[in-house]
C-alpha cells in the first residue's frame, strides 16, 4: 500500500483538538484512512457493525468492484479464468500469485493427486455421526479432525507446514465431501482415482459404485470445474474473515479452515444456493409456474416476510459477473441431461425471466446471482440440496488457505481483537441475597 501525501483530519465539535490520520492507497479501489492510533490519540473507538466500512487487512489476492460487477483473482478477470483455465490452475494462481506454466501445472496437479486419499481411520470417525446429520455438520467435524491425523503440518507459523496443509486440504476435501454424502445414503465409499481430473474424480467418488465402472460425462465434469473456479475466493467475506480471525490466534490450519466451513454453513452466506432451491421447491409445491404471480406479489409486499432467494447480492450492485458464466453452464447441463422440461427447472427459468424484465426487480438490480444458477446445475447433476454448501466449502478452501497464508506472512498482522460500544449496566455492588 502507498502512503498518500495528504491526510484526513478528524475534528470534534466539543473543542477537543483535531487529529490527523494517514491515508493509504491500494492498486485499485477506495483509499483507506489509517485509524490504528485513534484510541491512543483520542481515547475513542470507531463504531462499524458488520465492518462494512472497515478494511481489516491489506490483500493482493482478490478484488471486487461491486458497482462495475467485476471480480479479479490476482488481477485476472473471473470470466477469463472460468473459460480458459481449470480449477487446479486457479488454485495455483491463488496460492502462488501467478498462473502456472505447463511444468508447474503438471507438478502441482501431481502433488494434489498424490494426497487425495484420507487416513483410513477417518471412516470410523465418520461412523460417530447419525446417518441423517446435515453434511455441513459432518464436514465441519471431518476438517477439524484432520489436525488429529496429520500432525506434521499443524504449525501455522511454519511455511512448510502451511504448504503441505494447503495441498492436503485441496486434495482431500473432495474425498471428504463424497464420503459424507455416501455415509448419509448408506453406500460404500469410493476411493479416489489418480488418472481422473479433479472434478472428474469428485463426480466418480460421489456417484460411482463398486458394482460397475463409472464413466465421467465431460459436460458435467466441465460444469463442476466451473463451479469450483467461480467459488474459489471472494475477498473478505464472512467465512474468509472468520478463517483469518481464527488463524490470527496461531491455531493450526485445519482448525482455521474448519471455522470457515462452520461460518459458510449459514443461509445468509454459503447456504444461499440451498435456500434458493428450497424456495423453488416450495413454489412448486404451491402449484408451480401457475403460482409464480402469487409468489412475486408476496415478495413485493414488505409485510409478507417472503424473500426472493438467489437474486441480488450484498456486494454486487450491478450484475454478479459469475452469474452469466453459471447461466451458460446451466443451459449446457440441462441440455446434456435432457432436463429442459423438468417442472422445477421450467419454474426456475420462468422466475429468471420475470426478475430480468419486471421493473420492480430491474430498478432494485435484483438480478439472478451465481447461487441461483449453481443450485440448478448441482440439482441437475444429482447433488442433493443439503450438500450444496459442502460443494461451496470444497471450492472455497483454496481461497481460505491463500488468505491465511497471506495474513501469517504479513509483518503487521496481530491477533484479531474487535472492540465494542458497551451499553450494559455500569459498575455496581452485589447486594446480599436476603436484601435483593
Active site residues: 313, 371
Beta bridge partners of 212: 209
Determine the distance from the C-alpha atom of residue 389 to the mean position of all C-alpha atoms in its chain, rounded to a whole number. Answer: 9
C-alpha cell read off for 30: 477506495
Residues contacting residue 153 through CB under 8 Å, at least 6 positions apart: 161, 162, 164, 165, 168, 253
Q: Are 1 and 24 in contact (CB under 8 A)?
A: yes
Q: Are 4 and 23 in contact (CB under 8 A)?
A: yes
Interior angle at CA 174, CA 173 and CA 179, nearest 5: 95
Burial 228-260 (b: 16+ CB within 10 A, else e): bbbbbbbbbbbbbbbbbbbbbeeebbbbbbbbb
CB atoms within 10 A of CB 102: 7
Question: Helices H, strands E: what count in the chain?
Answer: 18, 6
Q: Are 397 and 170 in contact (CB under 8 A)?
A: yes
Determine the distance from the C-alpha atom of residue 392 to the mean position of all C-alpha atoms in its chain, rounded to a whole number. Answer: 6
Beta strand spans in 254-313 (E) = none
Q: Which sign does the torsion angle of CA 310, 370, 226, 389 carry?
A: negative
Amino acid at each position: 500500500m502507498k502512503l498518500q501525501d495528504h491526510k484526513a483530519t478528524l475534528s470534534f465539535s466539543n473543542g477537543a483538538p483535531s487529529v490527523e490520520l494517514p491515508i493509504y492507497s491500494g492498486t485499485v479501489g477506495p483509499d483507506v484512512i489509517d485509524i490504528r492510533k485513534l484510541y491512543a490519540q483520542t481515547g475513542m473507538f470507531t463504531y462499524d457493525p458488520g465492518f462494512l466500512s472497515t478494511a481489516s487487512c491489506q490483500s493482493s489476492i482478490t478484488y471486487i468492484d461491486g458497482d462495475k460487477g467485476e471480480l479479479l483473482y490476482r488481477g485476472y478477470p473471473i470470466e477469463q479464468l472460468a473459460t480458459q483455465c481449470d480449477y487446479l490452475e486457479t488454485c495455483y494462481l491463488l496460492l502462488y500469485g501467478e498462473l502456472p506454466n505447463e511444468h508447474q501445472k503438471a507438478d502441482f496437479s501431481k502433488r494434489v493427486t498424490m494426497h487425495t486419499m484420507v487416513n483410513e481411520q477417518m471412516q470410523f470417525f465418520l461412523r460417530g455421526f447419525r446417518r441423517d446429520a446435515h453434511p455441513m455438520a459432518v464436514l465441519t467435524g471431518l476438517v477439524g479432525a484432520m489436525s488429529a491425523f496429520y500432525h506434521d503440518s499443524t504449525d501455522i507459523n511454519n511455511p512448510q507446514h502451511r504448504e503441505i496443509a494447503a495441498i492436503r486440504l485441496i486434495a482431500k476435501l473432495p474425498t471428504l465431501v463424497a464420503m459424507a454424502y455416501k455415509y448419509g445414503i448408506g453406500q460404500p465409499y469410493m476411493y479416489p482415482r489418480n488418472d481422473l481430473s479433479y472434478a472428474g474424480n469428485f463426480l466418480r467418488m460421489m456417484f460411482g459404485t463398486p458394482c460397475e465402472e463409472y464413466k465421467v460425462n465431460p459436460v458435467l465434469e466441465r460444469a463442476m470445474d466451473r463451479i469450483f473456479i467461480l467459488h474459489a475466493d471472494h475477498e473478505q467475506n464472512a467465512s474468509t474473515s472468520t478463517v483469518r480471525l481464527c488463524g490470527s490466534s496461531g491455531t493450526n490450519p485445519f482448525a482455521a479452515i474448519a471455522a470457515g466451513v462452520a461460518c459458510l454453513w449459514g443461509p445468509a452466506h454459503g447456504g444461499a444456493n440451498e435456500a434458493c432451491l428450497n424456495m423453488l421447491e416450495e413454489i412448486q409445491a404451491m402449484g408451480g409456474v401457475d403460482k409464480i404471480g402469487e409468489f412475486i406479489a408476496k415478495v413485493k409486499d414488505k409485510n409478507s416476510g417472503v424473500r426472493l432467494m438467489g437474486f441480488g447480492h450484498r456486494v454486487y450492485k450491478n450484475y454478479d459477473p459469475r452469474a452469466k458464466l453459471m447461466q451458460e453452464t446451466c443451459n449446457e447441463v440441462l441440455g446434456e441431461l435432457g432436463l429442459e422440461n423438468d417442472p422445477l427447472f421450467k419454474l426456475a427459468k420462468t422466475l429468471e425471466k420475470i426478475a430480468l424484465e419486471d421493473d420492480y426487480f430491474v430498478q432494485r438490480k435484483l438480478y439472478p446471482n451465481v447461487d441461483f444458477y449453481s443450485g440448478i446445475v448441482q440439482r441437475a447433476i444429482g447433488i442433493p440440496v443439503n450438500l450444496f454448501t459442502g460443494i461451496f466449502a470444497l471450492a472455497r478452501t483454496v481461497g481460505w488457505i491463500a488468505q491465511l497464508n497471506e495474513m501469517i506472512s504479513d509483518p503487521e498482522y496481530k491477533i484479531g481483537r474487535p472492540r465494542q460500544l458497551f451499553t450494559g449496566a455500569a459498575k455496581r455492588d452485589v447486594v446480599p441475597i436476603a436484601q435483593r
